[in-house]
Amino acid sequence: MDHNTQKVVTRFAPSPTGFMHIGGVRTALYAYLWARKHNGTFILRIEDTDKEREVAGSIEHIQESLRWLGITWDYGPDSESTPFGSCIQSERLPSYLKYAQVLIEKGLAYADPYTEEEVAAFRAKATEEKRPFLYREHRPTKTEAWDGTKPLRLKVPEIKRYTWNDAVRGELSAGEEMLDDVVLIKSDGYPTYNFAHIIDDHEMGVTHIMRADEFISSQPKFLSIYDALGFEYPTFVTLPPILRDDRTKKLGKRDGAKDILEYRNEGYLPEAMINFLALIGWNPGTDQELFNEEELINTFEISRIQRAGAAFNEEKLLWTNKQHLVKKDPAFLFEYVEKALPQSLKGASGFTEEKLRRLVPTLIERIHVAAEISATAEAGECDFAFIAPTSYDVEMLKWKTDTDVKAVVPRLQKVVSLLSEADFSSPDIIKAALMPYAEEVGKGEVFSPLRISLSGKSQSPDPFTIAYIIGLEETLSRISFACDKIGG
Ligand code: GLU
């Protein structure tokens, strides 16, 4: 097939058997990037021929996941019309039957005459004799016409060693023991995956098949079906497995292979997710680590997909999210933080939107993802913004050179008079207003009791940031509370 002149068509073909995890999404992303890079077509096809494994709601879930990430399809289960019919396999049965008929006429498909028990017995015998079970060794000499009540099987056109090219793995080959008379149409009338995906890819004009490595051992069987049908092979692109961070095995559900929409709920940005996923198993050949979608489309190359398994690194995901987060505008970040802030703070009597607006940059600096905002807030680390501290131990206000806590009162009083005159438009300006005095009597002597009177905690952001966030009036009230608490 000449891919230079042919329009690129790729597809993502999930089975609706549950949620989408990062492996599936990465496959979709690569197929999408390749199509967009070539102004080609990207198809979302639903492979729902195994009705027993189907999970209700999966089709919506898959679409929602891809939409969230901005992976848009030209044709999909929601398309009203396409040049090739439905994108849902269960709605394409006439196509499979048409090609089944073609194979029957060519003498390359036949009705399986055996009962399930008979096939099970062949299998058991092979196991007993420590031989692999091959159905074709039991190929019946005489067969009935296929009436749809029995499985339809391929008659492998040529038992031979197959050699083929994989765009990632290079030349591959497998012996004839990998070929068998596989089922094409099951007795329930649905095609098998093996048969259906080949008909679909052909009818949809798919030029590049990107898929997980678990399909590679079936490749000779697929090729024998292509040959029986007389179809040309598309380009096969086998993606590397996604491994756990310690690379000991494939990423499983326990290690983070969770529903992609959970990442959305945790506050990961779709652009960060895409950036991160693109780099699991592909690299641009440069040091660039941050990409927006357009850059990914321009830079992505199949030739730079790696063969070896690629590790899923959670830290890298956090880092990537942060890099994208800090680029967001203030309005976005306000909403982002507001959504994640626990009700205990939003409902506090000292809560105002204005304070929250001023808290946002400080908070964003300290986190990678929204999920950390709730953790930070629940640990009480944001209380200073909305809740005046009242229950701390006054002894904390002492600086190390103070023998008596009463010594901090005149310093705090001086701070009050300086702040009353100060411009509260930024933490730096507040700091500048106090600096000459702090340099005169000692920075720790001034800033430490100030910070603790504002936060009530041994650890908190600096006093200028707190003062800026809570405003002049609240700042003065907290200092005065501290002085009253010291007494004397
Ligand atoms: N339906 C298969 C799956 O869910 C798709 C494999 C392919 O892309 O051909 O993994």
Cα 209 to ligand 1 centre (Å): 10
Residue 371's pLDDT is: 93
Residue 244's pLDDT is: 86
Cα 15 to ligand 1 centre (Å): 7
Residue 3 has pLDDT above 60, yes or no: no
Cα 147 to ligand 1 centre (Å): 28
Residue 238 has pLDDT above 70, yes or no: yes
**Residues 6 or more apart in contact with residue 128 via CB below 8 angstroms:** none
**Residues 6 or more apart in contact with residue 133 via CB below 8 angstroms:** 122, 123, 126, 127
Rounded average pLDDT over 219-228: 98
Rounded average pLDDT over 395-408: 96
Note whether 260 and 272 are within 8 A (CB). no
Q: Which residue's CA lies nearest to atom 5 of ligand 1?
A: 13
Q: Where are the beta strands (DSSP E) in 198-269?
A: 208-212, 235-239, 242-243
Residue 134 has pLDDT above 50, yes or no: yes
Q: Which of 197, 206, 213, 237 to mutate to test the pocket of ligand 1 (most atoms within 8 A of CB)?
A: 197
Would you state the CATH architecture of domain 253-325? Answer: Orthogonal Bundle (1.10)
CB of 197 closer than 6 angstroms to any ligand 1 atom: yes
> What number of CA atoms fall less than 13 Å from residue 399's CA on the CB side?
17
CB of 13 closer than 6 angstroms to any ligand 1 atom: yes
pLDDT-based confidence at residue 488 (cuts at 50, 70, 90)? low
> Which residues in 208-239 are b (16+ Cβ under 10 Å) and which e?
bbbbbbeebeebbbbbbbbbbbeeeebbbbbb
State the closest ligand 1 atom to the C-alpha of 211, by its place in the atom list counted from 1: 8
Q: Where are the beta strands (DSSP E) in 208-300?
A: 208-212, 235-239, 242-243
Residue 142's pLDDT is: 85
Residue 5's pLDDT is: 67
CB of 14 closer than 6 angstroms to any ligand 1 atom: yes
Rounded average pLDDT over 144-157: 94
CB of 280 closer than 6 angstroms to any ligand 1 atom: no
pLDDT tens-digit profile of 48-104? 999 889 999 999 999 999 999 999 999 999 999 999 999 999 999 999 999 999 999
pLDDT tens-digit profile of 410-457? 999 999 999 999 999 999 999 999 999 999 999 999 999 999 999 999
pLDDT-based confidence at residue 229 (cuts at 50, 70, 90)? very high
Rounded average pLDDT over 235-262: 86
Rounded average pLDDT over 230-238: 98
Residue 405 has pLDDT above 50, yes or no: yes
Cα 226 to ligand 1 centre (Å): 17
CB of 234 closer than 6 angstroms to any ligand 1 atom: no
CB of 15 closer than 6 angstroms to any ligand 1 atom: yes
Rounded average pLDDT over 361-368: 95
Rounded average pLDDT over 29-39: 98
Cα 241 to ligand 1 centre (Å): 14
Q: Which residue's CA lies nearest to atom 3 of ligand 1?
A: 14
Residue 1's pLDDT is: 47
Residue 143's pLDDT is: 81
CATH topology of domain 92-239: Rossmann fold (3.40.50)
For the annotated catalytic residues, the residue numbers are: 253
Rounded average pLDDT over 4-21: 90
The CATH label, of 3.40.190.10, 3.30.450.20, 1.10.540.10, 1.10.10.350, for the domain at 394-486 is: 1.10.10.350
Residues 247, 131: Cα–Cα separation, whole Å: 33
Domain residue spans of the chain: 92-239, 253-325, 330-386, 394-486
pLDDT-based confidence at residue 487 (cuts at 50, 70, 90)? confident
- The reply to whether 394-486 shares the fold of 253-325 is no
Residues 316, 3: Cα–Cα separation, whole Å: 35
CB of 47 closer than 6 angstroms to any ligand 1 atom: yes
